[in-house]
Amino acid sequence: MAVIGCTTPEWLEEALDDVDIMSGFANRFGYVTGELRPPNPLPGPMGDVTGIRMAVEAASERWAGEEERAIPLNSAARRVWRGFYLDFYERPWPSERIASMVQRVPERVLKVALIYAAVEGTDEITADQLEAAVGVGDYETRCILSLFTVFGHSEDSKLEARIEAFVKKKMEEEPFYATMTQIAQRLSGRVGAERLRRLVDGMVSVGKMEYIDDKHRRVLWCGD
């Protein structure tokens, strides 16, 4: 089963939160971005997919009656895969969020290579097919970086406002401070610990709040 959807970066950001991203749900989808085209009242016909359809039908007839069909990497493709895989997992991703979102890209590269092999009717995945699939994976990785590197910045402002309101309210009652656990609970547990710490650290760095213990578990309001 395949699910294909289209949305805007703003709607995507509104729909996803850190739990979706860090739990491994959001990275089950592939992400492709593109430039918005000008309005076209008379779009042309879709590309001809007759050749692809015929190749898929031929592959189905070729392997008809087989319950399972393995299409392994040939020796040259294995070398390509080894280089891509090791390089991919040694990359220094800019954030934990990005690292989570790209985690399944290598898996999708293999799936794309498998489709190429089926369409071309080969019994093995060739190096050319895998290199083409790696190109698809590299493109998706760039799309993920463009979408999720700044993902959450506008949401951060909303979260900071909620943290500010909560800590100010806690200053009106004993013991006149808020704990990180209380703040997380106030945010309904929908913000990861790393992100919450980053938000509070930022508010402390600009003088809005102050840590009052060595382990940075309690904060009090210092702003206006």
In which domain, by residue range, is 176 found?
A: 153-221
Any domain includes 44: no
- Residues 101 and 122 both lie in one domain: yes
Any domain includes 175: yes
pTM score, whole prediction? 0.64
Peptide bond into 175 cis (omega under 30): yes
What total number of domains does the chain contain?
A: 2
Listed residues 115, 131, 148: the one ending a domain: 148
DSSP string, 4-57: -----HHHHHHH--HHHHHTTSGGGS-----PPPPP-SS--PPPP-HHHHHHHH
Per-position pLDDT tens, the chain of length 224: 577 888 888 788 778 877 888 889 999 999 998 877 788 888 877 776 677 777 777 777 777 777 677 899 999 999 999 999 999 999 999 888 899 999 999 999 999 999 899 888 898 999 999 999 999 999 999 999 988 877 766 677 778 888 888 898 888 888 888 988 888 888 876 678 888 888 899 888 888 888 988 777 888 777 66
Any domain includes 65: no
